[in-house]
Every structure is written in structure tokens, then in C-alpha cells.
Structure 1
Amino acid sequence: MTPKRDPLKIASGFADALKGAFGNELQSVLLVGSAVRGDFIPGKSDINTLVILTPDGMDWLEKAYPVLRTWQRKGLAVPHFMMPDAVTNALDSYPLEFLDFKTFHKVIVGPDIMAEVDIPAKPLRLQIERELRGKLFLFRQVFASEAGHSKQLRIVLTRSVSVFTPVFQGILELGKQTIPVDRHDLFREAAAFAGFSERVFLQLLDIRDGKGSKNLKVVFKDLIKEIGPIVQWIDGFDAK
């Protein structure tokens, strides 16, 4: 029997190996994603990290290659590599991603670079709208071409959980609301705050967990229908 992988131990071992490769060029390593949120599934979930290197370290990024070859076999995903200035300079381009890092992270090595991050409201609102409109276009295309293929509908519905999770976190952040750890609570509270129905989004979580509706066509149609009011809400939101 394969032993269960401990994300914290693996991230710590990876950080030590990176320190050996980069020395002082390595500034911080953070564990992020499902391992911090608490819904990590051994054997299925990736172990995600954020690695901060100095500019000199980034110039020699190939030093990470032999380290990654070893630790990817233990379930580690290829990290997000950044330089220190990216944390502030890229906030207005990727506020949803940085909100997720800020909300769910654990410092493995170095200073907590997310401690002072302030998510800008206007870029956040714009990215939420862009994500929702883009997925609405995509879901319509998928439904038109795959409505008769339950397997494909299930795959798209399952993957959509990772789309709506950061979007709903962003909606609560805009309202200066607390972001829950549990996705069921997150989906419910975002729905209550923005005034849309939670039902179909909770169905997505059931489908992801293998206990959802058998009538995936109905769920898909309901999902497409429900995204429209959220787009209208976010379009009219006054992000100050």
C-alpha cells in the first residue's frame, strides 16, 4: 500500500532542496492551494507551492530542474516562480490569483510575502466579470456541441468548481466579507451576498464528489442560466 503523502512534509523537503540549489537567491517558499484549504485528497490533489527568487536566482532557474524531477514524483506540482516585485506589480493583473494565495497559504521558508498584500478592488471586479463572461461563452459552446454526451458534461461541470471557487472568493472580498474555508459555505455565502441562487453551484460540488444529479443536461442548463444574473450583478457593482 502506498503511504499517504503529507503535503507539509513534502513542501518542507522541497524547500530544503531548493535552498541547497539556490542558497540566498531563494527568498520564500509558501504552500498554497488545497493542502492549506483543507480539502487535499491524497493521490488526486497536487501539492502547490509559490517560490520567490531574487532576480539573480531567476536568471539561473534551471537549477530547479533536478530538484523538481525528484519532488514531482512525490506529488509536487511545478511551482509558481516569482520575483519579489511581482507580488506588488502583478496585483492589478491577477487579483483573483493573489487573493487565493493571500487567503490560503502557509509559510515554509522565508518571510510571509502575502502578509501585507492588499487586493485592489477595481481590477478584482474587472477580472471577476471577465472570468464569468468568458465561462458563459465557453459553457454555451460546450453545451451546444456536447449536450448528448454525459461524460463530457460531467468533466466540464466537475472542473468548473475550480473556476467558481476563486470567483466567489473575489465576490466576498469585494464586499469585505470573510472568506470561508469550506467550499459549500463559500458558495452559499457568495450567493447570499450577491443575491443569486446557490442551488446549482452546490450541485457542482456534489457532482465533483461523485454524488450529484444523474440529469447532467438539466444541471448544465441551470448553470448557464444562473451565470447571467451574476454577470449583471458584478457589472453594476461599485468597486471603490
Structure 2
Amino acid sequence: MKLKNLETLPDVVRNRVSGYVEEMLSIHGDKIISVALYGSALGKDFSKKTSDINIAVIFSEIGFSDLKKSQKLISKGIKKKIPSPLFLTKPYIESSADVFPIEFLEMKENHATIYGDDILSGIEVSKENLRFECESQIKGKLIRIRQAYLEMGGNKKGIERLLKESLNSLIPVFKGLLRLKGIASPSSKEEILKETAKTFGCEGDVFVKIFQDRQNNERISGKDIESFFEMYLSQLQGLAEIINEI
């Protein structure tokens, strides 16, 4: 059960996952048909301090016993910033790409298969399903961020954290919006934010400033946090209206 493509991974990622995946394979044997890394661990934005290493393990079939046997290994991995991997089957992927188009496109376009068949490259997603999930995510995020702001009661640190977490969770959605316009997604998150702002007429400085402060783990500076929140909310409202016209 030899691993492959390890040379394409950053050193810190390769060192963390090689033994982990080998142990996973020793536990499950031939039931595993593919293992792939996906997400920020493969991109320019990877940070040893903050980035998780996301893994998809694709089985021929999955039963409760497979979950049970994996628990100890998963617990060890979490301590190394390897979250619980996605346990999938090929039929599940094929029947669920219409429900989770953003998530599966992210995996398709940014992954490295390190064991077995390259199943993720074969994922197919329709434009209409992608548009529907982008709309659902943005409008849902708009409702949740309003609600969260009300619950903060003016707590500035809480509002700052809310802005950073909200924006980071929307970056895959912004990539989906760019795909809908036929625009190739940039390789870095900051460039994705800039291209989204340019394409849809948003105030890009708001997105970029929040993102940069998140990456540097600093306080948002230069403006009152309430003003930042107001501007951010305005951009989301604008995107929620625009997406109906795509």
C-alpha cells in the first residue's frame, strides 16, 4: 500500500500525514480505494499555526465498525491539526454533488491523491446547482451574522471574531460565484476576495482588511469595529441581491 505524490506536499504537511495515512490503510486494508488531501494544505495560504490538513478517505463501503476502528487514530490526528477525515464512498459522491456543489468543486479543483484512484477529479457539478447553493449560503450567512451581532451586545472582540470567521467561511462561496461568471479562481484567498469585489462591484478593501488581520492574528485597525461590520454587512446584502440575476 504505497503512497504517492507526497513530493507535491509542503514538508510540514507531508511529515504529518504520511504516517497517519499509512496507519489508516493498515486498519482498513483493501476497503480503502482512495485517499486525497484537499483545501488550504495544498495552497499558498497554508499556515503551520492556523491551517488544518483536510483528508478524504474513500471506501468501497462504510460500516459502523469502520468508524469504531478509526477512533484512536483520529484522536491522535486531531492533536496534529488533522481534523476527522471525510469518510466517503464513490456512490455517495456521485449522488451528492448536486447537494454540495461548492464543497465538492473545492475538493475537485484543489486536491492531491496520495493513495489509490483519483476519484475526486471525476466529480461533475451543474451550474444551476452551484448557483443555488451560492445563493443559499450567502443569504443564510446574512441572516446568521445579523443574529450573531445582536447576540454580541456590542462586544468588540466578539464582533471582530465574527467578521473574520464569517469572511473565511465565505471564500469557497466567492470562488463559486466567480465560476458562475466563467472566471478562473485565483490561487490565493486574498486574490479571490479582490477578484470577487472587482467582478461584482463590492468594496474590496473591507474584505481584504478583514482577511489580512485574520492571517496576521491582529486586531482590525484604522476604523471603528462597528463601521467595519456595517460595511461588511452592506457588501453581503449587495451580493445577495446580485446573485438573483446570475
TM-score between the two structures when normalised by the length of structure 2: 0.88
CA shift at 1:190, angstroms?
1.6
CA shift at 1:222, angstroms?
0.6
> Which consecutive unaligned segments of at least 5 residues does structure 2 have?
1-9
CA shift at 1:177, angstroms?
1.5
Q: Does 1:186 align with 2:192?
A: yes
Alpha carbon RMSD of aligned pairs, Å?
Answer: 2.0
Q: Does 1:101 align with 2:101?
A: no
Q: Does 1:83 align with 2:83?
A: no
Give the letter aligned to residue 238 of structure 2: P
Q: Distance in 2 between matches of 1:227 and 1:118?
A: 28
Q: Distance in 1 between matches of 2:179 and 2:64?
A: 32
Aligned with 1:85: secondary structure?
A: helix
- Runs of 4+, deviation exceeding 3 Å: 56-59
Question: In structure 2, what is the equivalent of residue 225 of structure 1?
Answer: 234
Of the three residues 77, 80, 84, the one matched with 1:74 is 80
Question: In structure 2, what is the equivalent of residue 154 of structure 1?
Answer: 160
Q: Aligned residue pairs: how many?
A: 234
CA shift at 1:36, angstroms?
0.9
Question: In structure 2, what is the equivalent of residue 176 of structure 1?
Answer: 182
CA shift at 1:137, angstroms?
1.1
Give the letter aligned to residue 36 of structure 1: L
Give the letter aligned to residue 198 of structure 1: G
Q: Distance in 2 between matches of 1:37 and 1:146?
A: 33
Change (3 A) 1:223 1:59: same
Q: Distance in 2 between matches of 1:141 and 1:207?
A: 23
Of the three residues 8, 11, 20, the one matched with 1:14 is 20
Give the letter aligned to residue 12 of structure 1: S
Give the letter aligned to residue 38 of structure 1: K
Q: Distance in 2 between matches of 1:61 and 1:45?
A: 25
Give the letter aligned to residue 237 of structure 2: G
User: Superposition pairs for residues 21-60 of structure 1, below 5 Å?
Assistant: 21-55=27-61, 60=66
| Identity of matched residues, % | 27
Aligned with 2:48: secondary structure?
A: coil
Q: Does 1:212 align with 2:206?
A: no
Q: Deviations over 1:12-35 (max 9, x none)?
A: 222111111111101111111221
CA shift at 1:65, angstroms?
1.6
Give the letter aligned to residue 232 of structure 1: E
Assess if the C-alpha contact under 8 Å between 2:160 and 2:220 holds in 1.
no
CA shift at 1:125, angstroms?
0.7
CA shift at 1:56, angstroms?
5.1
Assess if the C-alpha contact under 8 Å between 1:30 and 1:109 holds in 2.
yes
Q: Distance in 2 between matches of 1:80 and 1:206?
A: 29
